[in-house]
Structure 1
Amino acid sequence: MKLSYYGHSCFAVEIKGKKLLFDPFITPNELAKDVDPEKVEADYILVSHGHQDHMADAMDIAKRTNAPIISNFEIVTWFGEQGIEDTIPMNHGGAIGLDFCKIKYVNAIHSSVLPDGTYGGNPGGFIIMSDDTNFYYAGDTALTLDMQLIPRFAKLDLAILPIGDCLTMGIEDAITCCDFIQCDKVMGVHYDTFPNIRIDHQKAIETFKNAGKELQLLEIGKSADF
């Protein structure tokens, strides 16, 4: 599985030649100034919740690539009203099958409102299951006991977790999350973009290591195989 990181919580995963793009927030992110959103490709766009820092570029990329937007019912309805015709609505506990993977929409504890103030439904995370790999993208969330259900759905190879604290889980809660989901390999997201979520990278990596976990912090614009 090839993963490309575009800053904040935006990343793309390539599975069997198909690209899943998550939470596109590139243009307003000063840390991602070297990423050209016009060159970001997608076959599907997954949006975890309605906050602008998770969907600012979703509409433009969807129009350019014709990628369907996958999110909760309220968010895809809103995109439909903005002229995006190809959407796939989901809700908590539901799953859909694509020709190369299965996607399950799971709980996240956060808030959600769309850029124009429209109700954005409840936030969520995604479990992606395929013959190649299984991974969990938590979205913006607090630590929750619901995470303990995830190993019943999938044996995870990777967890993509928010670690910036203040607005989501921080380092310690993310480590506890690893125990809940039975996955010790983590890629961190949702950190450094704003002053209140800046982290000490080396300290975070060492804290995970001391807990018997592996934390990877990808440089914006870079890719890695997982």
Structure 2
Amino acid sequence: MADVKITWLGHAAFLLEAEKKVLIDPFISGNPMAPFNPEELNPDIIAVTHGHRDHFGDTIEIGKRTGCRIISIHEVANYIKSKGVFAEGMNKGGTVHVEGIALTMTEALHSSSIEASGFSFDGGCPAGFIIGIGGHSIYHAGDTGVFGDMQLIGELYEPELALLPIGDRFTMGIKEALKAVELIRPKIVVPMHYSTFDIIKQDPEEFKRAVEAKVDTKVIIMKPGESIEL
């Protein structure tokens, strides 16, 4: 088992680093919380949960510059390829293996479209990812509401770390995210997708108190640019 470094880039964007670097939902340009510029990121893999601008973000620009592997749901991959950048499509329940890293696509309850140049394109369905890296299992829920099959995700993949949205309005709020933790039972949870904009402002300390009062899961509140290690 190898150490994995997890860096929060604000909103739902994370960089996982072990033998390879995995960048998830690279919303960097236009993200007021982002601690880096897109040009500073050189991932081996980009995983995109869905086509909304605040998740799809700088995927095409980073992919074009670095030549990295881009993994997304089939329709998002087709859109990326239409822009002259290679991407690999998959769907829920499937797993893609990339140089020792396993990316399994899970359910997410949300909407999905690709917003670009004033137009909206078919973005397929929203998704989450279980990422097997360095012998660890990490669950990035994407944008989602709570759903009962999160219990199956916990049973099947036993994620050590869950990255869960708490911002409310467009995703789970604190109450729903607490139930998600109860269903998944990860060792550690990191809240995300909150307070990037006023409309999703939340107090992560309230989430931490609620979780740690009810389940045996550690809540780590990260600051943009901050890293933790598994």
TM-score (ref. length: structure 2): 0.92
Tell me what 2:173 maps to: 170
Tell me what 2:138 maps to: 135
For the residues of structure 2 that align with 1:153 and 1:42, how far apart are their CA atoms? 27
Tell me what 1:49 maps to: 50
For the residues of structure 1 that align with 2:170 and 2:10, how far apart are their CA atoms? 16
Cα deviation for residue 51 of structure 1 reads 0.2
**How far does the alpha carbon of each residue in 1:155-201 deviate from its partner, in whole angstroms, 9 at most, with x for none?**
21100111111110111211211121221410111001111211123
Which of 178, 189, 193 in structure 1 is aligned with 2:192?
Answer: 189
Contact 2:16 2:22 in 1 (8 A): yes
Contact 1:125 1:136 in 2 (8 A): yes
For the residues of structure 1 that align with 2:193 and 2:178, how far apart are their CA atoms? 15
Contact 1:129 1:154 in 2 (8 A): no
AA paired with 2:174? I
Tell me what 2:92 maps to: 92
Q: Specify whether residues 201 and 149 from structure 1 end up closer, same or farther in structure 2 by C-alpha distance, changes over 3 A only.
A: closer
Q: Number of matched residues?
A: 223
Of 213-222 and 46-55, the range deviating more from structure 2: 213-222
Cα deviation for residue 221 of structure 1 reads 1.4
For the residues of structure 1 that align with 2:228 and 2:155, how far apart are their CA atoms? 27
Tell me what 2:114 maps to: 114
RMSD: 1.4
For the residues of structure 1 that align with 2:190 and 2:204, how far apart are their CA atoms? 12
Contact 1:6 1:220 in 2 (8 A): yes
Cα deviation for residue 214 of structure 1 reads 2.1
For the residues of structure 1 that align with 2:180 and 2:14, how far apart are their CA atoms? 20
AA paired with 1:93? G
Gaps of 5+ in 2: none
Q: Which runs of 4+ in 1 moved over 3 A?
A: none
